[in-house]
């Protein structure tokens, strides 16, 4: 049974990363063919996924929802996590895709893993370990290659991609560190479902999504279903199940396959072209997550 759990954890971690990358590539496809707004897509993704997960939480964990929403301090903390972590991460990721592609957006967002490490080192007042330092250097090399294609003094990354990529990385860091208090008390399901509902409401007001005219057809509905149920709900379920099966460090390491699968989906399906420097950059970002996660695994076994 233990062996089956480990196998399931490995498979689910890999699949969660692949599902996230596929949904991001679908976003790139919808931006280029349906010309929909990234804000609108972010709202719909959060809202529809949130409604589904909230319904599941009401059936499976109604007491957790009741306790969480009856605590004023925890609701305030939940709002902070929902807006600056969950919502901002989803929105900035799709905005980065709209200005570039899903491969670059995923790679830039994963720089948030390095920011978590930096924050941890500052909090614990320690220097990065050897493997962590190598990971940070790999991240810097990857970012340099994305920004310049390896040519010093020549910047090829647009300002919009740089700004939204930085926001995506910072929001991923906040998404990682903010919810620990809420999730620890009320569980992942109740916290994430509520966070998606709050985040979608705030983003809808910010972007005034009711002003967007979106033409629904069978293709758009089909891909929205995939984004919600495969790229969000299923990916979330498999990621959390993997954490329970093999732990957060291994899950984070394996799910980072997204940094490789995103550009692969984009290149094969949408014929997005990447330079040799971009490809090396993707490998650097993937290796960065591996090195940082490897350090966490080693310390766990000390």
**SS3 string of the chain?**
CHHHHHHHHHHHHHHHHHHHHHHHHHHHHHHHHCCCCHHHHHHHHHHHHHHHHHHHHHHHCHHHHHHHHCCHHHHHHHHHHHHHHHHHHHHHHHHHHHHCCHHHHHHHHCHHHHHHHHHHHHHHCCCCCHHHHHHHHHHHHHHHHHHHCCCCCCCCCCHHHHHHHHHHHHHHHHHHHCCHHHHHHHCHHHHHHHHHHHHHHHHHHHHCHHHCCCCCCHHHHHHHHHHHHHHHHHHHHHHHHHHHHHCHHHHHHHHCCHHHHHHHHHHHHHCCCCCHHHHHHHHHHHHHHHHHHHHHHHHHCC
Could you tell me if 77 and 181 are in contact, meaning their C-beta atoms sit under 8 angstroms apart? yes
- At 182 the pLDDT is 86
Determine which of 183-187, 265-269, 283-287, 293-297 has the lowest per-residue pLDDT on average.
293-297
Phi, psi at 245, each rounded to 5°? -85, -45
Percent of the chain whose predicted confidence (pLDDT) is above 90:
74
> Is the pTM here over 0.75, yes or no?
yes
- At 300 the pLDDT is 59
- At 248 the pLDDT is 78
Task: Name the residue with higher pLDDT: 180 or 58.
Answer: 58
> Does the CA dihedral 45-50-52-53 come out positive or negative?
positive
- pLDDT of 221 > 70? The answer is yes
How many residues does this entry show for the chain? 302
Over residues 14-26, mean pLDDT: 95
Distance CA 142, CA 129 (A): 20
Domain definitions of the chain by residue range: 37-226+271-300
Residue in 103, 83, 148 with CA at minimum distance from that of residue 258: 103
Tens digits of residue pLDDT in 157-190: 999 999 999 999 999 999 888 887 888 899 888 9
298 torsion bin: left (phi>0), alpha (psi -120 to 50), beta (else): alpha
The CB-side HSE value for 20 (13 A sphere, CA atoms) comes to: 28
Could you tell me if 15 and 257 are in contact, meaning their C-beta atoms sit under 8 angstroms apart? no
- At 251 the pLDDT is 86
- Give me 186's structure tokens: 């009320």
Percent of the chain whose predicted confidence (pLDDT) is above 70:
98
- pLDDT of 1 > 70? The answer is no
Cα–Cα distances (Å) from 211 to 38, 42, 131, in that order, read: 14, 15, 49
Determine which of 81-85, 146-150, 187-191 has the lowest per-residue pLDDT on average.
187-191
Task: Name the residue with higher pLDDT: 146 or 6.
Answer: 146
Could you tell me if 258 and 13 are in contact, meaning their C-beta atoms sit under 8 angstroms apart? no
Could you tell me if 105 and 97 are in contact, meaning their C-beta atoms sit under 8 angstroms apart? yes
Tens digits of residue pLDDT in 241-258: 888 888 877 888 899 999
- At 302 the pLDDT is 44
- At 293 the pLDDT is 85
- At 179 the pLDDT is 81
Tens digits of residue pLDDT in 100-143: 999 999 999 999 989 989 998 999 999 999 999 999 999 999 99
Over residues 261-275, mean pLDDT: 96
Q: Band of the pLDDT at 299, cuts 50, 70, 90?
A: low
């Amino acid at each position: 049974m233990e062996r089956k759990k480990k196998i399931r954890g490995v498979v689910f971690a890999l699949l969660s990363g692949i599902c996230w990358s596929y949904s991001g590539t679908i976003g790139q496809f919808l931006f280029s063919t349906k010309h929909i707004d990234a804000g609108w897509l972010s709202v719909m993704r959060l809202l529809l996924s949130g409604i589904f997960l909230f319904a599941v939480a009401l059936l499976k964990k109604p007491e957790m929802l009741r306790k969480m929403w009856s605590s004023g301090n925890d609701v305030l903390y939940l709002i902070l996590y929902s807006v600056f972590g969950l919502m901002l991460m989803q929105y900035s990721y799709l905005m980065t895709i709209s200005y570039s592609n899903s491969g670059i957006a995923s790679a830039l967002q994963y720089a948030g893993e390095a920011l978590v490490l930096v924050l941890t080192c500052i909090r614990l007042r320690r220097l990065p370990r050897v493997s962590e330092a190598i990971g940070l250097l790999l991240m810097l090399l990857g970012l340099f290659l994305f920004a310049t294609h390896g040519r010093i003094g020549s910047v090829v990354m647009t300002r919009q991609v740089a700004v939204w990529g930085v926001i995506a990385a910072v929001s991923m860091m906040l998404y990682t560190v903010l919810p620990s208090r809420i999730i620890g008390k009320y569980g992942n399901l109740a916290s994430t479902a509520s966070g998606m509902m709050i985040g979608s409401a705030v983003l809808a007001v910010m972007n005034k999504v009711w002003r967007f005219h979106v033409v629904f057809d069978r293709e758009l509905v089909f891909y929205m279903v995939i984004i919600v149920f495969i790229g969000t709900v299923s990916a979330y379920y498999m990621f959390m199940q993997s954490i329970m099966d093999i732990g957060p460090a291994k899950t984070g390491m394996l799910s980072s396959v997204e940094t490789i699968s995103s550009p692969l989906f984009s290149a094969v399906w949408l014929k997005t072209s990447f330079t040799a420097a971009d490809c090396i950059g993707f490998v650097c970002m993937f290796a960065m997550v591996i090195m940082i996660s490897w350090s966490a695994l080693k310390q766990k076994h000390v």
